[in-house]
Amino acid sequence: MQHFWVVGTDTDVGKTFVTTLLMRNLQKQGLHVTPYKPVQTGEVHDGEQSYYYDTAMYEKYSLQLLDRENLNGYSFKEAASPHFAAQLEGQQINTQRLLSQMQQLQQKWDVVICEGAGGLFVPLDSYGETTLLDVIVQSKLPVVVVTRTTLGTINHTLLTLEALSKRKIEVLGIVFNGDTGSGMEQDNIKTILRHHPLPFATLPKLKHISHIMDLAITDTSLFERLSKHETSIN
């Protein structure tokens, strides 16, 4: 099996939802699967409890016991771009540490799903010298792109795919998330696929996140690609 990234065209497009869904569906195939969030921001306070949404989602919906200590590289309290959230806490993100963690996880798990933060060009340092995209390039892992179906998605998705193509990053497929079935959304999907005829999955807009337990992605061309794709990465 292939380890891979789940990246988004923007923030709040559903990367964590898709990462969790892919994790569950691959686990159902009998694979030992872990998600990994290199950098997460935005501590959530619920009464006396505090947690981070991304890793909490992984643990809540995983069908296997996950190693909590290795689900995440950095966590910052402020809901902001990683570079700024780190700066507020007097820290710097060490990308080599992240890459080392990813390599170690790949030795232990059948599939490691690395979830990005925001869009591709989110900066990881205050000088803007290193972005999430730079880490993806160095990891040498392919990606699954998560995008919206609503107005604006054509431009955002095509720009994201162009950036990945220029850096010779393999795109395993696209997930169109939050579809309500409108004519405009269907045309948006068709237009994007006309430019980039990739394996894909279309996910409906859910009324509640718990419906993820009933949602399957296994009958899609994207999941077929993920299931059959083999890695040659050391």
The residues annotated as belonging to the active site are 37
Conformation bin of residue 163: beta by default, left when phi > 0, alpha when psi is -120 to 50: alpha
DSSP 109-145: -SEEEEE--SSTT-BSSTTS--BHHHHHHHHT--EEE
CB proximity list for 138: less than 8 A, separation 6 or greater: 95, 99
Side-chain half-sphere of 37: how many Cα atoms within 13 Å?
29
**Quick one: tokens of 152?**
């604006």
Q: Measured between alpha carbons, how far is 39 from 35 in angstroms, rounded to an integer?
A: 12
Q: Measured between alpha carbons, how far is 120 from 85 in angstroms, rounded to an integer?
A: 17
Which residues lie across from 5 on neighbouring strands? 114, 143
Contact of 174 with 147, CB cutoff 8 Å: yes
